Amino acid sequence: MIPKKISAGRGTLLAIKTDKFKTEMLTLTLPLPMAQRTQRLCTLLFSILRRGCKAYPDIASLSRRLDDLYDANIATMAAPTGENFSAGFACECLDSAYVKEDNDLLAGTLDTLRKMLFEPLLDADGNFSQKALELEKRNLCDSIRTSDNDPKIHSFQLCRGIMFEGEPYGKRAAGTVEDVMAVNGKELEEFRREYLGLSSPTFIYIGRRDAEEIKALIEKYFGDFGGEKARLNKTILKNAVPSMRSVEEEMSVLQGKLTLGMRSDIGAVDKDMYAAILTNDIFGGSPSSKLFRNVREKQSLCYSCSSSFDFVKGALFVRSGISNENKDRVIKEILAQFEEIKSGNISDYEFECSKRSIENYYRQASDSAYSMENYYRTRSIAGIDTTLDGAIEAIHSVTKEDVVRAANRFGADTCAFVRGNLGDGKGYEEGDEDE
């Protein structure tokens, strides 16, 4: 499945022709510079648009319309990619080839989305209803408070905020509760009109139709969607600070939550990017990793310990649930395990298991339209045009020497610890096994 890229409407279409699925998917997103106001207003706008429009004035009538389209789905999307993010909609419906009557379900779904976007429910003053908006503001505020009160999330946000201070990537997406509550119906309607012309849209199609047929549908329903190409933020890549910074806070929980962040100057288009992906997997990205087998299983120093890698920012994060008393030992052992990789102490078992794990991840992505769409959308924003098959080949060609070189470009930057102050911090908490 080789994607075909063509212009469509005011943007570009990436069409992946496949008969692997019984559904068709078309996403339309705008790549935008990351900014708290834009992300906050996008979240509120998308939520309120799903409540209805002039043609379908409430949730019930909008749901009936989608049910008539054989249970079609219109989902909202907002995902960060380095210093930028993509915001928009995903339309998925049954392939019309499986319907007896002559009914283009994708066209019907796109028509419904157009009505939601371009013909929303507004009050007599031409603004969004303050009553409906207050409900969505409360929902978003509840989400912010939940994040603040979750020790795992709070530890991660503390680490990221210090590690990327002064960079858009380091700021929480929606801002504060006070920021959200200040939004009114007039501001949101002004933003809706602004959003419709913010930047050049990206359309991604996955289904059996040819690119030209999808282009015609896009230009029929969304030919006036989007504006000039946005000036996206340049990704900020930095090496770690000379000496790792530490921050600690307390929360009323049983168990301590630790996040350790490492930085590198390896970006999305760097020659060592795939070696860095493999480095992360060997380190803590899978059950065969050093962190899982040595820190968690052999030494029993933590309830959970794993790592993740942001390939756009060149940042690696270790997240662990631990007893308070083990904090220093866990940090020391995490850093020691990474030094093992830097020194080339990587067994054939670790290397081959990690390669197979990542290659299988890319293969499995082609089994899901959503996973496939996410892969190509994020890489499009990051400036990568590698196909899924190309990514598998790139991982397959990585050597141990490549991994060692990539690992030595990382440095420990920031460690954030949320200390549990209930009891002795040795309690088991739900979710530890899955972290």
Which pLDDT band, with edges at 50, 70 and 90, does 423 fall under? low
Is 237 part of any domain? no
**Model confidence over 91-143: pLDDT tens digits?**
999 999 898 888 899 999 999 999 999 999 999 999 999 999 999 999 999 99
Are 282 and 403 found together in one domain?
Answer: yes
- How far apart are the C-alpha atoms of 214 and 386, rounded to whole Å? 22
Are 282 and 173 found together in one domain?
Answer: no
User: In 10 A of CB 13, how many CB atoms?
Assistant: 25
Mean pLDDT, rounded, for 324-335? 95
**Model confidence over 60-76: pLDDT tens digits?**
999 999 999 999 999 99
Domain boundary among 207, 222, 237: 222
Are 214 and 272 found together in one domain?
Answer: no
Residue 304 has pLDDT above 80, yes or no: yes
Are 202 and 351 found together in one domain?
Answer: no
Instruction: Answer yes or no: are the C-beta atoms of 42 and 234 closer than 8 Å.
Output: no
Which pLDDT band, with edges at 50, 70 and 90, does 231 fall under? confident
Which range, of 149-158, 175-184, 227-236, 265-274, averages the lowest pLDDT? Answer: 227-236
**Model confidence over 375-397: pLDDT tens digits?**
999 988 888 889 999 999 999 99
Q: Give the three-class secondary structure for 44.
A: helix
State the chain's mean pLDDT as an integer.
93
Are 201 and 264 found together in one domain?
Answer: no
Is 239 part of any domain? no
Is 328 part of any domain? yes
Are 324 and 276 found together in one domain?
Answer: yes
pLDDT, residue 84, reads 92
**Which of 345, 320, 342, 315 shows the shortest CA–CA distance to 330?**
320
What is the torsion angle, in degrees rounded to the nearest 10, for the CA atoms of residue 106, residue 194, residue 39 and residue 49? -50
pLDDT, residue 434, reads 41
pLDDT, residue 172, reads 84
Domain boundary among 188, 222, 256: 222
Is 392 part of any domain? yes
pLDDT, residue 162, reads 96
pLDDT, residue 424, reads 57
**Model confidence over 165-209: pLDDT tens digits?**
999 999 888 889 999 999 999 999 999 999 999 899 999 999 999
DSSP 124-148: TTSS--HHHHHHHHHHHHHHHHHHH
Look at the chain and report how many structural domains it folds into.
2
Mean pLDDT, rounded, for 226-248? 91
Residue 430 has pLDDT above 80, yes or no: no
* CB-based contacts of 164, cutoff 8 Å, min separation 6: 170, 236, 313, 315
- How far apart are the C-alpha atoms of 299 and 303, rounded to whole Å? 11
Q: Give the three-class secondary structure for 273.
A: helix
Is 293 part of any domain? yes
Is 415 part of any domain? yes
Beta-bridge mates of residue 206:
16, 25
Are 152 and 284 found together in one domain?
Answer: no
Are 277 and 215 found together in one domain?
Answer: no
Is 231 part of any domain? no
11-17/84-94 β-pairing:
unpaired
Instruction: Answer yes or no: are the C-beta atoms of 260 and 308 closer than 8 Å.
Output: no
Are 176 and 314 found together in one domain?
Answer: no
CATH of residue 394: 3.30.830.10
Q: Sign of the C-alpha dihedral, residues 267, 269, 270, 275? A: positive
Ordered strands of the 23-33 beta sheet? 4-8, 11-17, 202-207, 23-33, 84-94, 73-81
User: In 10 A of CB 161, how many CB atoms?
Assistant: 15
Mean pLDDT, rounded, for 47-58? 94
Domain boundary among 191, 222, 253: 222
Q: Which domain, by its residues, includes 60?
A: 4-222
Q: How far lies 97's CA from each of 49, 69, 71, 213, 395, in Å?
A: 30, 13, 15, 15, 37
Which pLDDT band, with edges at 50, 70 and 90, does 433 fall under? very low
Mean pLDDT, rounded, for 35-61? 94
Is 362 part of any domain? yes
Percent of the chain with pLDDT over 90: 83
Beta-bridge mates of residue 27:
90, 204
Which range, of 266-275, 294-303, 359-368, averages the lowest pLDDT? Answer: 294-303
pLDDT, residue 202, reads 94
Give the N- to C-terminal CA distance of the chain in Å, as an integer: 33
Are 285 and 154 found together in one domain?
Answer: no
Which amino acid is located at 224 in the chain? D
Which pLDDT band, with edges at 50, 70 and 90, does 429 fall under? low
Which amino acid is located at 328 in the chain? D
Residue 428 has pLDDT above 80, yes or no: no
